[in-house]
Amino acid sequence: MWNRQDLISKAEKLKPELKHMTVRPVFRDGVRTLESETSIVLDFGNHYVGYFSFSASTEGSHQDAPALLRINFCESERELDEENDDYNGWISKSWIQEELIHVDDFSALVHLNRRYAFRYVKIEAISLSSKYNIVIEDAYADTVTSADDNSVEVFGNNDLERELDKVSIRTLRNCMQEVFEDGPKRDRRLWMGDLRLQALSNYATFKDFNLVKRCLYLFAGCADDEGRIPACLFISPNIVGDDTYMFDYSLFFIATLRDYMQYSGDEESVRELLPAAIRQWELSKERFNGEDLIPDSDEIGWCFLDWNLDLNKQAGAQFVYIYSLKALKEIFIQLNELERLPELEEEIEAKTNAARKFLWDENKGLFVSGADRQISYATQSWAILADVLNGPQDYFELMNRLSKHGDTCPMITPYMNHVYVEALISAGMKEEAYIHMCYYWGGMVREGADTFYELYDPNDPNQSPYGSCTVNSYCHAWSCTPTYFLRIRHLTNGE
Ligand code: RAM
């Protein structure tokens, strides 16, 4: 077992300085005065992460009763109209960005201690008294990010591409704090699946290699006693691995390490982290049955792939495993660590053969998953990225058959849509990939998004895996990849 404490110490030395900037809002409709049971909205003009303060005076008679205020922080305009009290989803209500405060007198600045993610701040006077009103004199946010705004300029060949790029960068920027957070509204922690995609967009834009390195060291440092890497880490008050493990997320340590190696060229760190990568292979391998097939499971969250609760994960898991082993092979070759290469190659072959034997539906010409032989975008996309057939022509045909297939389990997150676009590119379908990017992420742009969302289903604006979209996050790291597609995959229309 590697020295976990040593890796965490190394990661802590790479902790970035947060950059602060003070930002002031405009008062919607110019209204600054609050009577009892009225509210005002402050618009900061863009999405920010930070700390909010305001000063106010009173008008009328002397303040003869405390002010009871409700302050709501909203990432998107739609949150301004949410009925937070009606929330009955299954994750904690405490994620709703709302404060109920009493202010006894307004002679001092009112400062809120929690960090929030927002563009809009709604201040509602739940109760004052009939003898006084409040006038907001000043309001500002002390905003934070570890990203360097000066290091990147917006790119694109037309207005939509530039918007996609700008919104991606804003999303990534606001998730770049002491680690790559998944979302500054929720869950504010370091998730492996999100990190993999953030790192790719970061290589295309800010090129903060140290922040990726820090996160990789943290993950390896937080492995459990067996060496298994958790799905996510808590950063505060101390760095701790969550006791949640997901088959695909543990494996994504390998691909994230491979990508870091390729973009940064830092082989020394990759060599140091290689034992942790190999261990993810060994541990995942234990899950397979004697016929080299990953058994399906009812355990919720055993493998993630997407937030669609109807999605069967069996085939996707098999393909993510093969994809990850191929990434490991690239690391072995690049570092000239060839001792276990034959064993790795045999494993890739065995799992590929099993996939073709047990997961392929000859009649439909598509891969199936689980006892009900489900057909999904996730399964086909990961089959292509794992490269289990014979190259682009096969994948082109697979994707064509998929587009004509009637009952396909859909995708609901930008995270899964990223995988789909990658798969289209690998199938040689760049034009379709471009069209899909413009349709899907462009849909959020058309809604006026400053940052890309955690969940987005163009056909269902109320989509949420949490039982209510009140707790959905509207600045979510895993959705920031159009900038990667535009800049690294050259997914532009070239105008
Ligand atoms: C959600 C988080 C995170 C994701 C996990 C699997 O709770 O938003 O981004 O990686 O799910």
- The string of pLDDT tens digits covering residues 202-252 is 999 999 999 999 999 999 999 999 999 999 999 999 999 999 999 999 999
* Half-sphere exposure of residue 134: CA atoms within 13 angstroms, side-chain side: 30
Cα(52)–Cα(121) distance, integer angstroms: 9
What is the number of the ligand 1 atom nearest to the C-alpha of 478? 9
For 262-365, strand residue ranges (E) read 360-361
Model confidence pTM above 0.95:
yes
Handedness of CA 481, 484, 487, 491 (dihedral sign): negative
Res. 495: pLDDT tops 70: no
**Residue 126 φ then ψ, to 5°:** -70, -45
Provide the pLDDT for residue 99.
Answer: 98
For the chain, the C-alpha Rg in angstroms (whole number) is: 24
Number of Cβ within a 10 Å radius of residue 25: 21
Number of Cβ within a 10 Å radius of residue 300: 6
Q: Classify strands 19-23 and 132-145 as parallel, antiparallel or unpaired.
A: antiparallel
Segment 342-366 shows an average pLDDT of 98
pLDDT band at 360 (very low <50, low <70, confident <90, very high): very high
Cβ–ligand 1 contact at 347 (below 6 Å)? no
3 state DSSP class of 343 = helix
Closest residue CA from atom 9 of ligand 1? 182
Ligand 1 centroid to Cα of residue 414, in Å, is 12
Segment 419-425 shows an average pLDDT of 98
Cβ–ligand 1 contact at 194 (below 6 Å)? yes
Cβ–ligand 1 contact at 306 (below 6 Å)? no
Q: What's the distance, CA 261 to chain centroid?
A: 21
Long-range contacts of 386-391 (CB under 8 A, 24+ apart): 386/318, 386/319, 386/320, 386/322, 386/323, 386/326, 386/352, 386/355, 387/322, 387/323, 387/326, 387/426, 388/319, 388/322, 388/352, 388/355, 388/356, 389/356
Cβ–ligand 1 contact at 132 (below 6 Å)? no
Cβ–ligand 1 contact at 182 (below 6 Å)? yes
Ligand 1 centroid to Cα of residue 115, in Å, is 19
For the chain, count helices (H), then strands (E). 13, 14
Task: Tell me which of 75, 187, 305, 464 to substitute to probe ligand 1's pocket, judged by most ligand atoms within 8 Å of the beta carbon.
Answer: 187
Cα(427)–Cα(393) distance, integer angstroms: 7
Closest residue CA from atom 5 of ligand 1? 191
What is the number of the ligand 1 atom nearest to the C-alpha of 182? 9
**Residue 186 φ then ψ, to 5°:** -165, 135
Ligand 1 centroid to Cα of residue 416, in Å, is 12
- Scanning the structure block, which residue is given the tokens 């008008």? 59
Cβ–ligand 1 contact at 304 (below 6 Å)? yes
Query: Is residue 105 packed enough to be buried (19+ CB in 10 Å), middle (13-18) or exposed (0-12)?
Result: exposed
Segment 12-23 shows an average pLDDT of 98
Q: Over the chain, what is the mean pLDDT?
A: 97
Segment 42-66 shows an average pLDDT of 98
What is the number of the ligand 1 atom nearest to the C-alpha of 246? 6
Contact 178, 238 (CB under 8 A): no
- Scanning the structure block, which residue is given the tokens 């790029």? 165
Cβ–ligand 1 contact at 191 (below 6 Å)? yes
- Scanning the structure block, which residue is given the tokens 């109320």? 462
Cβ–ligand 1 contact at 187 (below 6 Å)? yes
Cα(472)–Cα(86) distance, integer angstroms: 15
Tokens of 225: 């006693």
Task: Tell me which of 92, 188, 191 to substitute to probe ligand 1's pocket, judged by most ligand atoms within 8 Å of the beta carbon.
Answer: 191
Cα(489)–Cα(492) distance, integer angstroms: 9
Ligand 1 centroid to Cα of residue 492, in Å, is 29
Provide the pLDDT for residue 461.
Answer: 84
**Residue 20 φ then ψ, to 5°:** -105, 145
Res. 63: pLDDT tops 90: yes
Residue 66's nearest CA partner among 159, 154, 134, 139 is 134
Cα(227)–Cα(254) distance, integer angstroms: 13
Res. 494: pLDDT tops 70: no
Ligand 1 centroid to Cα of residue 182, in Å, is 7
